[in-house]
Amino acid sequence: MLTKAEYIWLDGSSPPQLRSKVKIIDLVEGQKPPIWGFDGSSTLQAEGSSSDCVLFPAFVCENSLEHSGILVLCEVLNTNLTAHKSNTRQECAKIAKIYEGHECWFGLEQEYTLMKYKRPMGWPLDDEPPPQGDYYCGNGAGLVAGREIVSEHLNACLDAGLQICGTNAEGMLGQWEFQVGALGPVEVSDQLWIARFLLQRIAEDYGVGVSYDAKPIEGDWNGSGCHTNFSTKKMRAEGGITECYKACEALEKNAELHIQNYGTGSERRLTGEHETCSYKEFRWGVSDRGASIRIPWQVAKEKRGYIEDRRPNADCDPYVVTRLITESTCKTK
Ligand code: ADP
Ligand code: MN
Ligand code: MN
Ligand code: MN
């Protein structure tokens, strides 16, 4: 059957950006879409003299933006079929496999800002709106902006079969969040990238851009993060709180490595203000939204569950973040 397949990949920029192009394929039921290629010299992935890069289908779902068709998230390979240096998925999959027995789960809270005329949606063009306080989970004109995009996005994710689990308006007018998970490291990352893709495409129809900048507006305004909630089988089991503490200690030991790989703009966002802990410090604590790692109150109460790494920035690459957390917490020295 002829199928419209939108091939999606991450380019060579830092942070990585989504690229895509459409191929009409004759897809046999139950078969994987074929490998394809692109001009890597236009995506910071190759020199013009040797520009071919390979698209290797990795995750496929319905294209909920079309009447029919599929989205094909790809790994980028070199022409000899080894992983391209921009391919962070393969390393994530490798680590996920090594620590499979720990049954790591991740839930990602993707914050973002909808942008129109280079301003957050709902902002006056030449001024700031009233200060923060009433926008988080707000309702009503003047208190939120862009809800039509947010609702369409939620439905598109559900229709594509993604495990999106919620959405809310955030602290700054025009800023929003959605959550994906809980799933394994590779699965949650594949789904987050597709969810970002759907968001960008839906907003595009409204002439609205999606900013994942860690601090879109300087001053007394919240930045955008990608809080990463994490648990292992042992952390979720009865009395798992001691395992949660151990995970916090393991993350403390590797704090610098993690911060360096948690997306861009940590110095602007992780200031110690606006519900963050300074990027220069590491603290963990129960219910503490000013900590690097928060242990949610229900987890402290039930003495089992998960921890929340609040440090990743909104533009982080989830393949990198989930790989590092898996490796740092599961490896035994
Ligand atoms: P917050 O109170 O920080 O805003 P949210 O409700 O936005 O929290 O997000 C909570 C996230 O935690 C969700 O993505 C959810 O999937 C995830 N989560 C819940 N339980 C677990 C668990 N046991 N392991 C990993 N992630 C989990
Ligand atoms: Mn949240
Ligand atoms: Mn949030
Ligand atoms: Mn959170």
Closest C-alpha to ligand 1, atom 13: 107
CA of 107 to the centre of ligand 1 (A): 5
Tell me which residue of 82, 127, 106, 70 sits closest to 183, measured CA to CA: 106
- Model-level pTM? 0.97
Residue having the nearest C-alpha atom to atom 1 of ligand 1: 109
317 close to ligand 1 (CB < 6 Angstrom): no
Residue 199 to residue 212: CA distance in whole angstroms: 12
Between CA 254 and CA 164 the distance in angstroms is 29
Q: Look at ligand 1, atom 14, and give the residue with the nearest C-alpha.
A: 107
Q: Is 328 exposed, middle or buried (0-12, 13-18, 19+ CB in 10 A)?
A: middle
User: Does ligand 1 come within 6 angstroms of the Cβ of 107?
Assistant: yes
Instruction: Please give the pLDDT value at position 50.
Output: 81
> Which ranges of 142-223 does DSSP label H, i.e. alpha helix?
147-159, 185-205
What pLDDT is recorded for position 37?
95
Predicted local confidence at residue 28, as pLDDT: 87
The residues facing 114 across adjacent strands are 210
Single-letter amino acid, residue 290: G
pLDDT attached to residue 67: 87
pLDDT computed for residue 48 by the predictor: 77
**CB 226, CB 304: distance < 8 Å:** no
- Measured in angstroms, how far is the CA atom of residue 137 from the centroid of ligand 2? 10
Q: List CB contacts of 109: < 8 A, sequence separation 6 or more.
A: 177, 178, 179, 225, 226, 227, 228, 229
Helix (H, G, I), strand (E, B) or coil at 97: helix
pLDDT, one tens digit per residue, over 26-85 is 988 888 999 999 999 999 998 878 889 999 999 999 999 998 899 999 999 999 999 999
Which atom of ligand 1 is found nearest the CA of 181? 16
Between CA 325 and CA 185 the distance in angstroms is 9
Tell me the mean pLDDT per 10 residues along the chain, length 333: 95 96 91 94 88 95 94 97 96 98 98 96 95 97 97 98 98 98 98 98 98 96 97 97 96 96 96 92 91 96 97 98 98 76
Report CA(109)–ligand 3 centroid distance (Å).
Answer: 7
Residue 110 near ligand 1, beta carbon < 6 Å: no
One-character DSSP codes across 216-281: SS-SSS---BEEEEEE-HHHHSTTTHHHHHHHHHHHHHTHHHHHHTS-S-HHHH-SS-SS---TT-
Phi, psi of 108, rounded to the nearest 5 degrees: -105, 130
Residue 3 makes CB contacts below 8 A (sequence gap 6+) with 24, 25, 26, 27, 68, 69, 70
Strands 164-169 and 175-183, by their bridges, are: antiparallel
